[in-house]
């Protein structure tokens, strides 16, 4: 923990916006350097222009690769494109539009020439492809839409990001991202000068460039997935902090459209994020699940001088696909805790239109409290690998009512059981927190205390351990037979998993469970470490023992 974590950013912490944007245009990546190639992680390609990792050449190549990919898949409908508030998002959005217009792709841009949250792009794709109609969503055939979101999510201000959402509206799978990345790197190597482009002025004026009111479409439809009338009539006071991100205009529109007592705590947009408090490592990061990054909003809720201002407060990251829930009685809730509360509320009678077959979706590193809640409700829990893409099929066909990640990302079905978004929706989950308070009279953190009383308290944490490139590669391909341990922290091991039990997909690591604890180990995609997620329903000391023994189990499996 950096000693300045949670304190206001200082001038020395801020980026030089002109330098970051200038490097986007001036620096050229070296495709022989792996750190400068196009690499799609779980949420697209990310990097900084200053590191030769997110430059104009990357976006030209990646956009052209997407043009070719969508053609190869028969996706010939419109492409919806949005961007967040990072300094590199506008230049990258402009570059992409120049390539899309030259390729003749019908492209819908924001009608307000403003920022667009990731869930609003997902919703636009799905509605074009049939969501909320009697026919249902089409994912094959002519005229299908797809999308691009220009965002590095909660990453620091110096970074840029670029992600692709195919016709199912959610994050692209590895088959698509692998193809796009490989083709983009081929284009980088052969030279982006061969890619057809038009000027920005020509692109904006092109017949194929059209306007879409992402904001109105999203806000007006919210009443079909959240009980907005219950929130309004309750009179609860809501504080919404967009953290300088794409939700800034959306929260104001939501308040006006539904006549809510909602205050946009900080409507400022600054690509330096000078108003932020520093994250745990001393960096500016718009992580709404981090107590350090959310320190300003938390202090408003817990400081005796201002604690009566709001009944509940929320935060979102830069592209608004994550949520943070702040209550007067507990401060910032742990994301796992709010996921469990949301599931207990939604499946406990609040959404009868979902039907009895709608399962609960969780990632394998999310809290086992969700499993215990699911069992008490008689609902099937579908445990999948890390990555929201795994929830897409279930959200599309209604077989999964709610899909959530431990990193504060989730979405769920419309009230009638139809699909809402197939990408994470931070505004939706923030509003759900208000609905829970409005309809039950208790804060989400009070609901969590009730779940703990029923199912037991747990201690959850993630730590990193060093690993070489070879060890990371080995960990990603482990088989259960390579794990020789029979006990963990004094309990018999009940399962050794290298495939997710919910869909049999490879987890790219290992999960070991006992009756009252578990750990999961996954290699980092960006650093020479592996991540150990662990939880204990015994004690904090037992969690520490689980973490220590987890390193021994992994080391032995790796041959150490």
Per-position DSSP letters for 488-531, written without gaps between them? ETTEE--EEEEE-TTT--EEEEEEEE-SSEEEEEEE-SSSSEEE
Beta-strand relationship, 323-327 and 331-332: antiparallel
> What value, to the nearest 5°, has the Cα angle with vertex 443 and ends 222 and 230?
35
pLDDT classification of 78: cutoffs 50, 70, 90? very high
Per-residue pLDDT of 365-413, as tens digits, reads 999 999 999 999 999 999 999 999 999 999 999 999 999 999 999 999 9
- CATH 3.40.120.10 region(s) of the chain? 11-217
Q: Could you say which DSSP state residue 442 is in? A: S
What's domain 459-557's architecture?
2-Layer Sandwich (3.30)
At 543, is the secondary structure helix, strand, or coil?
helix
Among candidate residues 89, 153, 320, 342, the one labeled active-site is 153
CB 554 within 8 A of CB 503: no
Report how far residue 437's alpha carbon sits from residue 430's, in angstroms, rounded to the nearest whole number. Answer: 11
Residue 131 reports pLDDT greater than 80 = yes
Residue 525 reports pLDDT greater than 90 = no
- CATH 3.30.310.50 region(s) of the chain? 459-557
Place of tokens 């999310």: 366
pLDDT classification of 222: cutoffs 50, 70, 90? very high
Report how far residue 559's alpha carbon sits from residue 552's, in angstroms, rounded to the nearest whole number. Answer: 11
pLDDT at 172: 96
- Please give the span between the terminal C-alpha atoms of the chain, in angstroms, as a whole number: 29
- Name residue 323's beta-bridge partners: 316
What's domain 11-217's architecture?
3-Layer(aba) Sandwich (3.40)
- Least confident interval from 93-97, 385-389, 442-446: 385-389
- Name residue 316's beta-bridge partners: 323
Is 153 part of the annotated catalytic residue set?
yes
- 504's torsion region: left (phi>0), alpha (psi -120 to 50) or beta? left
pLDDT at 312: 97
The pair of three-digit structure tokens given for residue 332, joined into one six-digit string: 């910032």
For the segment 108-118, the average pLDDT, to the nearest whole number, is: 98
pLDDT at 458: 96
CB 517 within 8 A of CB 546: yes
The pair of three-digit structure tokens given for residue 525, joined into one six-digit string: 């995609």
Residue with the bigger pLDDT between 132 and 333: it is 333
Per-residue pLDDT of 34-58, as tens digits, reads 999 999 977 789 999 999 999 999 9
Report how far residue 298's alpha carbon sits from residue 288's, in angstroms, rounded to the nearest whole number. Answer: 11
Per-residue pLDDT of 261-316, as tens digits, reads 999 999 999 999 999 999 999 999 999 999 999 999 999 898 888 778 999 999 99
Which residue in 170, 172, 321 sits closest to 246, CA to CA? 321
Residue 111 reports pLDDT greater than 90 = yes
Long-range contacts of 29-36 (CB under 8 A, 24+ apart): 29/53, 29/55, 29/57, 29/58, 29/188, 31/185, 31/188, 31/189
Residue 134 reports pLDDT greater than 80 = no
Place of tokens 């904006």: 204
- Name residue 71's beta-bridge partners: none
pLDDT at 14: 98
Whole-number average pLDDT of the chain: 95
pLDDT at 141: 85
The pair of three-digit structure tokens given for residue 355, joined into one six-digit string: 């039907």
pLDDT at 506: 93
pLDDT classification of 558: cutoffs 50, 70, 90? confident
pLDDT at 560: 62
Residue 80 reports pLDDT greater than 70 = yes
């Amino acid at each position: 923990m950096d000693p300045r974590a949670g304190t206001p950013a200082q001038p020395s912490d801020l980026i030089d916006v002109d330098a970051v944007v200038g490097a986007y245009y001036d620096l050229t990546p070296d495709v022989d350097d792996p750190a400068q190639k196009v690499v799609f992680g779980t949420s697209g390609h990310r990097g900084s222009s200053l590191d030769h990792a997110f430059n104009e050449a990357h976006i030209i190549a990646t956009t052209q690769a997407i043009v070719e990919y969508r053609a190869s898949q028969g996706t010939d409908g419109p492409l919806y494109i949005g961007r967040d508030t990072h300094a590199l998002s506008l230049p990258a959005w402009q570059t992409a539009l120049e390539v899309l217009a030259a390729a003749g792709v019908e492209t819908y841009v924001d009608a307000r020439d403003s920022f667009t949250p990731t869930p609003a792009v997902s919703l636009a794709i799905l509605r074009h492809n049939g969501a909320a109609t009697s026919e249902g969503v089409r994912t094959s055939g002519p005229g299908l839409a797809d999308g691009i979101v220009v965002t590095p999510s909660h990453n620091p201000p110096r970074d840029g990001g670029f992600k692709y959402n195919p016709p199912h509206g959610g994050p692209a799978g590895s088959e698509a991202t692998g193809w796009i990345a490989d083709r983009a790197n081929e284009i980088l190597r052969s030279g982006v000068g061969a890619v057809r482009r038009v000027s920005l002025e020509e692109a904006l004026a092109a017949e194929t460039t059209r306007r879409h009111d992402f904001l109105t479409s999203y806000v007006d439809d919210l009443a079909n997935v959240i009980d907005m009338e219950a929130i309004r009539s309750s009179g609860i006071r809501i504080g919404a902090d967009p953290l300088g991100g794409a939700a800034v205009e959306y929260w104001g529109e939501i308040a006006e459209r539904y006549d809510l007592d909602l205050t946009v705590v900080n409507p400022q947009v600054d690509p330096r994020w000078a108003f932020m408090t520093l994250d745990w490592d001393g960096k500016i990061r718009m992580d709404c699940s981090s107590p350090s990054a959310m320190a300003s909003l938390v202090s408003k809720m817990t400081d005796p001088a201002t604690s009566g201002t709001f009944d509940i407060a929320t935060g979102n990251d830069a592209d608004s696909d994550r949520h943070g829930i702040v209550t007067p009685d507990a401060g910032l809730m742990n994301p796992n805790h709010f996921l469990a509360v949301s599931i207990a509320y939604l499946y406990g009678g609040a959404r009868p239109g979902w039907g009895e077959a709608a399962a609960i979706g969780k990632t394998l590193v999310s809290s086992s409290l969700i499993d215990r809640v699911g069992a008490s409700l008689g609902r099937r829990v579908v445990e999948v690998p890390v990555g929201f893409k795994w929830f897409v099929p279930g959200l599309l066909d209604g077989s999964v009512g709610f899909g959530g990640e431990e990193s504060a990302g989730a979405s769920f079905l419309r009230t009638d059981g139809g699909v809402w978004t197939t990408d994470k929706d931070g505004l939706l989950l923030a509003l759900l927190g208000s609905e829970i308070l409005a309809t039950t009279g208790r804060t989400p953190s009070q609901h969590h205390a009730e779940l703990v009383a029923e199912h037991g308290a747990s201690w959850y944490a993630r730590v990193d351990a060093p690993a070489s490139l070879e060890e990371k590669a080995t960990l990603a391909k482990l088989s259960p037979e390579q794990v020789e341990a029979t006990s963990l922290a004094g309990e018999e091991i009940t399962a050794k998993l290298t495939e997710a039990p919910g869909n049999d997909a490879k987890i790219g690591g290992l999960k070991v469970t006992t009756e009252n604890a578990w750990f999961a180990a996954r290699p980092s995609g960006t650093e020479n470490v592996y991540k150990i997620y662990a939880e204990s329903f015994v004690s904090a000391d037992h969690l520490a023992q689980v973490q220590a023994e987890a390193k021994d189990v992994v080391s032995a499996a790796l041959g150490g």
